[in-house]
Structure 1
Amino acid sequence: MEFKDLEIFEMVARKGTISEAAKELSYVQSNITSRIKKLEAEMNTALFNRHNRGMTLTPEGKKLLVYSEKILSLTNEMKKVVQSKSEPAGKLEIGTVETVIRLPVILSSYSKKYRNVDLSLLTGVTEQLQNDVLNHRLDGAFVTEIDQHPDLVSHDVFEEELVLLSDSTKTSIEQLIEEPILCFSKGCGYRARLAKWYKDQNKVPQKVMEFGTLETILGSVTMGLGITFVPKSAVGHLEKRGLVHCHYLPEKYSKINTVFIRRKDAHLTSTLEKFVETFEQIDGEWDFPLAH
């Protein structure tokens, strides 16, 4: 068995189809198919159920996936440990929440200084990103501060103020209670805060509509489709143009911290250490949202 076989196995499990896995890995489909068959022959069992919509893991495949993730994680960890402390190099996989506006400032500063690092960025909601860090799929992530997991270390980034946003025709909070909520998927820190506010008001949202991007949410709010709960710094330009109205909630709902998380037991490589140093040095310049 080769490490590459396990990497291919994991990619097919994640993507659900040979074609998507081949595209992600830049392999021809026949190569992916043959490597999967070879791995199944070595394991002496079927690892995937084949059907018209793609491939799903068999019970044996799910068991192998657990061990495969551990093996590849340890392999990656081994490579990082032997990196030179004086010159960061290798892969660095960072996660961040969807509402990033000026994160490129950090990425640009880091990449220009450490050109031997292959930096990649994955976006998602806080809960999913935390799971990705815990399961070694990411080296670290910018997320909304939530209950601290014992296996994680967090670095404070900044405090953000959230506002309840409506179109410009609604100027009182009382007008918003029955409005549809426009938000990201479950696991979003902003959404959880707003849900807590509704609960404390003994109210239940009449309708919740999930979107994938901040731009779509804000555009929909300006058109009167519903309301949302987002960082004030993300909507200042719309407020100045008179397209939206900001409604302020008590601090226990509106004040929220952004943190950078990483695994406590993972070796702090120079690659990740220098990344942390980069955003900590820019700490005083934050004027944009990173979390949701």
Structure 2
Amino acid sequence: MEFKNLYIFLKVVEQGNISKAAKELNYVQSNVTARIKKLEEELHTPLFHRHNRGIVLTPEGKKLLVYAEKIVSMVTDMKRAFRSPDIPVGKLDIGSVETVIKLPLILSKYNKKYGHIDLSLTTGVTEQLIDDVLNYRLDGAFVTAGSLSNHPDLVQYDVFEEELVLVSDADAGTIDELKMKPFLVFHSGCGYRAKLMEWLRDEQVASSKLMELGTLETILGSVYSGLGVTFVPRSTVEHHESRGLIQCHKVPEQYSRIKTVFIRKKDAFLTTSLEKFIDTINEIRQKEDYAFPLF
């Protein structure tokens, strides 16, 4: 089985269309089609369902996708390993939950020192980011700590721990009244949402409505307007609170403490670029001027 065929297979999956994949790869379409057919012959199974709008993976295609991602990632790591061991080169794909308040500082320091690295950032909820790291789609990610981040196939590094607060508009009522308002949350898989649900369950609050919104900016804008309340780290809303736009309300400590960690895949080659990124996190965390509080 040719490695190039697996790479082409991944491009077709990514584009959802053979002609688009061919254009991305600068190949003629017939070449891509032939490569996919060769894979299907070698594996004795169809890998895609064809339809008018494109293609979708068959169950066997989904199975191959897991192996192909691992193989392509390992070959990429192998190539990186034989480059200069001291100078980070290549591409670094990092993921993060939206509310890592020190992330701009980390990225800025790293980029200034290693500006030739092709650094990309993907945002998402914790569960999705963990899945992306486990399946080699990301080199590492900032996520909220929990049972998933302690996965045996992951290495994690403490970044900081902070306080989650209930956030309402400036004219809010009591905590009991706020519990009855709609809760504006990130999508399922968010660590903050999980903590919120734990608190509401233990408080036996069953009637609160959840409204999923995609970004922190949208959530806070909706809180300002009185649409509902949210549950996010205090560090992300302190400047809004100081301007009198919102109110922050404490909740019991067992629900309000949450840790952010940086994770990477344990069996993936630790590239120089990723190693230097982790060093940058530690340098910033340890500096007195920018110390991240660890409780």
TM-score, normalised to structure 2, is 0.87
Answer with 31-40 or 111-120: which moved more.
31-40
Partner of 2:222: 220
In structure 2, give the amino acid aligned to 1:155.
Y
Displacement, 1:53?
A: 4.5
SS of alignment partner, residue 267 of structure 2 = coil
Answer with 65-74 or 34-43: which moved more.
34-43
Partner of 2:90: 90
Answer with 63-72 or 256-265: which moved more.
63-72
> How many Å separate the matches in 2 of 1:233 and 1:287?
13
Displacement, 1:205?
A: 4.4
TM-score, normalised to structure 1, is 0.88
Answer with 278-287 or 175-184: which moved more.
278-287
Displacement, 1:149?
A: 0.8
For the 8 Å contact 2:168–2:248, the answer to whether it is kept is: yes
> How many Å separate the matches in 2 of 1:162 and 1:211?
18
Partner of 1:71: 71
Aligned: 1:211 with 2:213: yes
Alpha-carbon spacing, 1:106–1:27, altered in 2? closer, same or farther (3 Å) = same
> How many Å separate the matches in 1 of 2:54 and 2:208?
36
Matches within 5 A, 1:1-292: 3-17=3-17, 26=24, 31=27, 33-42=29-38, 43-44=40-41, 45-147=45-147, 148-283=150-285, 284=287, 285-286=289-290
Moved >3 Å (runs of 4+): 1-5, 14-22, 25-28, 31-36, 284-289
> How many Å separate the matches in 2 of 1:207 and 1:21?
42
> How many Å separate the matches in 2 of 1:138 and 1:255?
27
SS of alignment partner, residue 197 of structure 1 = helix
Q: Deviations over 1:197-225 (max 9, x none)?
A: 00101122432111111000000011111
Displacement, 1:134?
A: 1.2
Alpha-carbon spacing, 1:211–1:53, altered in 2? closer, same or farther (3 Å) = farther
Displacement, 1:50?
A: 2.5
Answer with 81-90 or 123-132: which moved more.
81-90
In structure 1, give the amino acid aligned to 2:77.
E
In structure 2, give the amino acid aligned to 1:115.
G
Q: Deviations over 1:141-167 (max 9, x none)?
A: 111011211111111111111110111
Displacement, 1:16?
A: 3.4
Q: Deviations over 1:164-188 (max 9, x none)?
A: 0111121310111211111111110
CA root-mean-square deviation: 2.4
Displacement, 1:257?
A: 0.8
Residue ranges of structure 1 left out of the alignment (5+ in a row) = none
How many residue pairs match? The answer is: 285
For the 8 Å contact 1:181–1:205, the answer to whether it is kept is: no
For the 8 Å contact 2:159–2:292, the answer to whether it is kept is: no
For the 8 Å contact 1:180–1:205, the answer to whether it is kept is: no
> How many Å separate the matches in 2 of 1:193 and 1:36?
47
Q: Deviations over 1:212-251 (max 9, x none)?
A: 1100000001111111101111112221222211110011
Displacement, 1:2?
A: 5.2
Answer with 135-144 or 3-12: which moved more.
3-12
